Every structure is written in structure tokens, then in C-alpha cells.
A and B are shown apart, each in its own frame.
Chain A
Amino acid sequence: MKTISVEIRTPEALILQGDYESAVLPGFEGELGILPGHTALAAQLKSGTIRLKRAGKTETCSITNGFAEVQPAKISILAEKVII
């Protein structure tokens, strides 16, 4: 299964780093589903839940306000606060 590497950072720490099969982000204008190979995207995120899938399991974390940069092999999420 193809994976995409995900990084979640706050100004205070690197919260999460890993390879996932898919990600769902709380986009400003609606949820964003991201699969490996996604086209480059810059998005504003609103407060909400991030869902990351790997090996049939879903991991979630909550963020407040942030930005996401999606590239075909990498998602980089910059959020003000993250709760796992």
C-alpha cells in the first residue's frame, strides 16, 4: 500500500511524524481527504479533527487553526495547538 508521510507541528514541538495511507483534514471550506500522490495544495485549516489511517487503524488528533501544505509524498501540518 502506498503511503504519504505526515508531519504535525506546533510552535512548541513536533507532535507527530509518520507514514500513513490516507489523511482527512479539517479544511477551511470543508473536509479534505488526502491520498498518496495528491497534487500540491496549500490550505487553511479550521479547528477540528485530523484522521490518519494506517494498517486498518484510524488515529485522530484535534487541532486549532493551522495550515497544511500537501505535496505528492508529504503532508506538513502547522497548527497553533494540537491535542492527541
Chain B
Amino acid sequence: MASLSELQSKVKGIKSIEQVTRAMQLVAGARFARAQKEMVAAGSFLAELEGLLYRLLHTHWKPGKKAPPGDRGLCGSFNNNILKETLAFRHITSDKNLKIFTVGRKAEESLRKSGLAVSRAYDNIPSGLRFDVAAKMAEEIMDIYSKEEMGGFLVISNRFHSLARQEVEVSHLLPVRIQPEHKPKAGADYLFEPERNSLLAEMIPCYLKNRVYSFLKESYAAEQAARLVAMENATINAGDLIETLNLEFNKLRQASITSQIADIVGASEGIK
């Protein structure tokens, strides 16, 4: 059985851990609230744009070249599920030209560790990511896509469903497929300014930039949500542990007091 002082220092240690996890929980909570707001804003902008594109096209966009399913992955920022999904994807694609782009330090580190070559790593993404940063990323992706005649570009990212549920999903970025979640009614005939094709040529890059932005925002919100839940659990566990240890500590203290009293009583009996 542990000694009194050992138990005491254990409790002290766990208490300080609890403080840290509670602080992290609060921080994640605050960040999550902001991230969620930004995610919703990015999402609704994207939905508007997507809806407009959809209405303008009436039918699905047909890419000029028939493309095999994607052979690139853009990784979302945080957890193991992303890594798993990426590795699984690596196994099912036979394409030797697979190139992997990562966003965030963790994604790059873990992919390199598992022996995958990362062709482009975006890190030092500020937590309050601005649209410009995402736009630059999207421009780079479009550039490589058209220059190297890649077959497609997939995004493996964490999608936010609720505070308790974030799921990894693979989505198509390129070639462009306009499939809004809520299909709007195909609109009446539109006037175009400038004419239809040049307007679409302007809108599609804008659409892609916003998709990248929206992916990043969503992944960030999902990350904060995951952290919030994890830290909440850790804080609860620490509390439980402290309770058990305190109980043990009190039992031990009582036992030692009892034995001390027994000693004193014994000694005084002896003197009589």
C-alpha cells in the first residue's frame, strides 16, 4: 500500500493535470464557438455560390477531359483517422503519380513517419485563417492540376457534424462537380454579364477557392470540437481519480490514527 505522502503527491499531481485539462477545455470551447461561426459563414457563402453555379449550368459541369478518379490528397489537419484514410487510399490507388498535399504540421509528420512522400506541405496555418491564404492554396492546386494534367484532386478532411461527431470524408475538388446539398430549382433564363462562358470561367476558380476555404474552416471547427470533448472527458476522469485517491488517503490516515491510539492505550495500560 502506498504511503500517506505518496498518495498526497499523487493527488497533487492529478489536480494540476486537471487544472490544465480544464483550461484547455475552456480554450477549445471559446475557439470552437468562433470557429463554428466562421465555418457557418464560409459554408453559406459556398452554398450560395454553388447554388448560383448550379442554376447557371442547369446541367452538371462537364470537364473537357475525361478524368479518372482523383490521385491527390489534400489532408485535413489533425487526427489519426485522416492518416488511416490516406493510407487506405494509397493502397487502393495504383497510380504511381500520386501526390500528397498536407495542411498542418501533424498531417505532414504522421504521413512522413508512415513512409509516404509529401509533395507539398502547408504548415504554419494561422488559427484565424483568412480567405487569402486559402485562395493562394487553391490557386496553387489549380495551377498544378492544369500544368501537370493530373487526373483529379481529392480532399480527405474532417467534416463537422456535431460537437460529438466529426467524420473523415473524401471529397472531390477537381475536376469540378457542382452538386449542391440542396438542389435549387433550375432558374429561369439568366442574362449574363459578361457572356456565359467568360462568367463561368471567372466563377469556377472563385468556387474552388471557397471550397478550399470552407474545408479548412470546417476541419478547424471539427478539431476544436474534438479537443473540447477530449479535454472535458480528461477533466472528468481526473476528478474521479482524485476522489478515489482521497478516499484511499483518508482510509490510510484513519488506520494510522487507530494504530497510534492503540499504541497509546497499550502503553498507558502498561504504566498502570
Contacts and interface: CB of A to CB of B under 8 A. Distances in A.
Interface residues of B, number: 31
Nearest to A32: B193
B194 A11 contact: no
Interface string A1-19: 0000000011111100000
B44 A9 contact: yes
B45 A40 contact: no
B48 interface: yes
State the 3 A-B residue pairs at the shortest beta-carbon distance, nearest first. Answer: A43-B193, A41-B191, A11-B131
A67 B188 contact: no
B160 interface: no
A40 B199 contact: no
Interface of A: 9-14, 27-29, 32, 39-44, 65, 67, 69, 71, 76, 78, 80
Looking at chain A's contact residues, the main secondary structure is strand
Given A9-B44, A10-B45, A76 B193 contact: no
A12 B128 CA distance: 11
Given A41-B191, A43-B192, A67 B41 contact: no
B203 to A, nearest CB: 6
Interface of B: 38, 41-42, 44-46, 48-49, 52, 55-56, 130-131, 134-135, 187-194, 198-199, 202-203, 206, 210, 213-214
B194 A9 contact: no
Contact of B131 (A14, A43, A71, A80): A80
Given A40-B187, A67-B203, A78-B49, A12 B194 contact: no
A32 B191 CA distance: 12
B194 A29 contact: yes
